[in-house]
Amino acid sequence: MLSYKYHLLLPLCLLASYLGLSGTPNIVFVFSDDHATQAISAYGGHLAKVAPTPNLDRIAKQGMRFNRCMVTNSICGPSRATILTGKYSHLNGFYKNEATKFDGSQQTFPKLMQKAGYQTAIIGKWHLASKPTGFDHWEVLPGQGSYYNPDFITSNGRHRETGYVSEIITDKAKKWLSSQRDKRKPFILMVQHKAPHRAWDPAPKYLTLFDDIKIPEPSTLFDDYGNRGTAAKNQDMTISKTMTLGRDLKVKEHDDTGNLGWAFKRMNPEQRAKWDAAYQPKNNAFMKANLKGKELISWKYQRYIKDYLRCIRSVDDSVGELRECLLANNLNENTVFIYSSDQGFYLGEHGWFDKRFMYDESYRTPLLVDWPGVTQTGRVNNDLVSNLDFAQTFLDMAGAPLPKDMQGASLVPLLKGKKPKNWRKYHYYHYYEYPGWHMVHRHEGVYDGRYKLMNFYDLDEWELYDMQSDPLEMKNHFGRPAYAEITKRLSKELTNLRKQFQVPENIKQDITDVNMHYHSEEIRKRGVARKKAHEAKDRN
């Protein structure tokens, strides 16, 4: 039945696009890594004035800004796997970054888009360990990739490019748009930035941006986690303790553990000279000041946030250049332009960096969509949407059939300004990577757009927040009599969602087994050997 439909669809798409009539738009999906909504001025917030993002804001101004785009599992690989498959981690098999390989033989939206006559391309960060499948053109970074002089993997193997990663990814995308694609076919191009991921290494041209200003601090920078649970207290992602002066903050070349900073590993002498000219005077002043306590944390925050925002500046430039390129190629009117990130991030809120928690800053991800002729200008959408919906949205835009086993919903009706009656009222979340980087305990939860119930099941602890009266999530209301009814309703919905999404009964134990295996001595040794081999490659 499905293949019969596809057979009809393919020649129709080709003909329509050839005649320039197509109701099937092209899609450019720009996707970054760890870009929090707080760092997009269209979303407002305390950074909007000091670090505007004019090109990103233009997407929102001309199209729709989603205020509640929630991720299924706030971590890189799992978010990407959810986007490709339209399924939760427990069905697509990619629960956590560590020791997992994406099974590329499964159904993904790029494969279905190909069947529907689309050309599919991906350029930039991939981070799913296996090779991309379902793409006519792919040039991806190995693993996390590098900011300076990055390697790329293509079907012809691995090679190194000179320059700054965000600029190289943009140039590659522009080249593909202008001269490499098959101009008879509609396309989806995924431009996936490494920036602004840790260690937030800025482009040479932005090394001194923001030098002369002080960036406002978030009000929860000195959070003491009072009235919160064990997980919030015991994580390993604070600016004060976890963030290093070496690799993260670029004061020293090496960490206390002896690791060389990422940027230093790969810069050539010319890049290094610019870097040193920018950082050395600032580092000298810092060393002289001999800061302690809160003053030291405030200084670390400034260095961190400035580097992060410098990386964002290159991403914003990229968006501007890609929009120009569409215009120059006469593609602007029939191309949907979408911007999102794999998850949000803490920019000092609760004293943190990184993500993983179901608290708002990392659970919520940006989503901006400009669909010329469809989205009305300056629309704001407050419905509960998710990265789970992206696959069906792309397929729906392409006029392709939507597989029954995908678990999200197409956003096309919302983009047209029509909310379906049965739109989701609750969103399900599940994070699995523990033990692991930043030591955030596993948890699952449910969110109704106002109240959020979270279960840190290994700790046997629950948390309940009211985003309306307490948007910074400083008061855990779980267990308070006034919230008993709300808690009951949400925990019932949590059970319903687990059923609806086919979360296996024994998932907690299964993942415990996988995690324990990963942290076993044998696997640890293999990891060390792999790391050494990579480093040897890097030196060549």
Q: Which residue, 197 or 300, is less far from ligand SGN as judged by CB?
A: 197
Q: How far apart (Å, rounded) are the C-alpha atoms in residues 502 and 323? A: 40
Cβ neighbors of 22 (< 8 A, separation 6 or more) are 13, 16, 186, 334
> Helix 76-85 and helix 390-397: axis angle, to 10°?
40
Q: Which residue, 148 or 187, is less far from ligand SGN as judged by CB?
A: 148
The four Cα atoms 380, 384, 390, 396 give a dihedral, to 10 degrees, of: -80
Q: How far apart (Å, rounded) are the C-alpha atoms in residues 237 and 351? A: 8
Q: How far apart (Å, rounded) are the C-alpha atoms in residues 309 and 351? A: 17
Rounded to a whole number of angstroms, the minimum distance from the CB of residue 203 to ligand SGN is 18
Partner that binds at residue 444, options ligand SGN, Ca ion, none, CB closer than 5 to 8 Å by kind: none
Partner that binds at residue 473, options ligand SGN, Ca ion, none, CB closer than 5 to 8 Å by kind: none
Partner that binds at residue 55, options Ca ion, ligand SGN, none, CB closer than 5 to 8 Å by kind: none
Rounded to a whole number of angstroms, the minimum distance from the CB of residue 361 to ligand SGN is 14
159 three-class SS: strand
Stretch that binds Ca ion, among 33-41, 129-137, 296-304, 469-477 (CB under 5 A): 33-41
Q: Which residue, 33 or 493, is less far from Ca ion as judged by CB?
A: 33
Binds Ca ion by CB under 5 A, chosen from 57, 342, 349, 433: 342
Binding site for ligand SGN (CB under 6 A): 33-34, 75-76, 97, 127, 144, 197-199, 354, 437-438
Q: Tell me, what amino acid is at 473?
A: E
Q: Which residue, 143 or 372, is less far from ligand SGN as judged by CB?
A: 143
Q: Which residue is nearest to Ca ion (CB)?
A: 76
Q: How far is CA 215 from the centre of its chain?
A: 23
Q: How far apart (Å, rounded) are the C-alpha atoms in residues 130 and 96? A: 14
Six-digit token string for 324: 């120009």
Partner that binds at residue 501, options ligand SGN, Ca ion, none, CB closer than 5 to 8 Å by kind: none
> Helix 54-62 and helix 293-328: axis angle, to 10°?
60
Stretch that binds Ca ion, among 156-164, 186-194, 339-347, 511-519 (CB under 5 A): 339-347
Stretch that binds Ca ion, among 165-173, 341-349, 436-444, 456-464 (CB under 5 A): 341-349
Rounded to a whole number of angstroms, the minimum distance from the CB of residue 348 to Ca ion is 17
> Helix 293-328 and helix 165-175: axis angle, to 10°?
10
Q: Which residue, 26 or 341, is less far from ligand SGN as judged by CB?
A: 341
Q: How far apart (Å, rounded) are the C-alpha atoms in residues 386 and 425? A: 12
Q: Which residue, 81 or 326, is less far from Ca ion as judged by CB?
A: 81
Six-digit token string for 105: 């033989």
Rounded to a whole number of angstroms, the minimum distance from the CB of residue 352 to ligand SGN is 11
Q: Which residue, 346 or 451, is less far from ligand SGN as judged by CB?
A: 346
> Between β-strands 379-381 and 64-66, what pairing exists: parallel, antiparallel or unpaired?
parallel
Q: Tell me, what amino acid is at 214?
A: K
Contact 336, 371 (CB under 8 A): yes
Q: How far apart (Å, rounded) are the C-alpha atoms in residues 125 and 128? A: 9
Instruction: Report the site for Ca ion in 56-85 (rule: CB under 5 A).
Output: 76
Answer yes or no whether residue 361 interacts with Ca ion by CB under 5 A: no
Q: Which residue, 316 or 354, is less far from ligand SGN as judged by CB?
A: 354
Answer yes or no whether residue 33 interacts with Ca ion by CB under 5 A: yes
Q: Which residue, 127 or 172, is less far from Ca ion as judged by CB?
A: 127
Q: Which residue is nearest to ligand SGN (CB)?
A: 76
Rounded to a whole number of angstroms, the minimum distance from the CB of residue 453 to ligand SGN is 25
- Dihedral sign computed on CA atoms, order 435, 441, 445, 451: negative
Interface residues with Ca ion (CB under 5 A) are 33-34, 76, 342
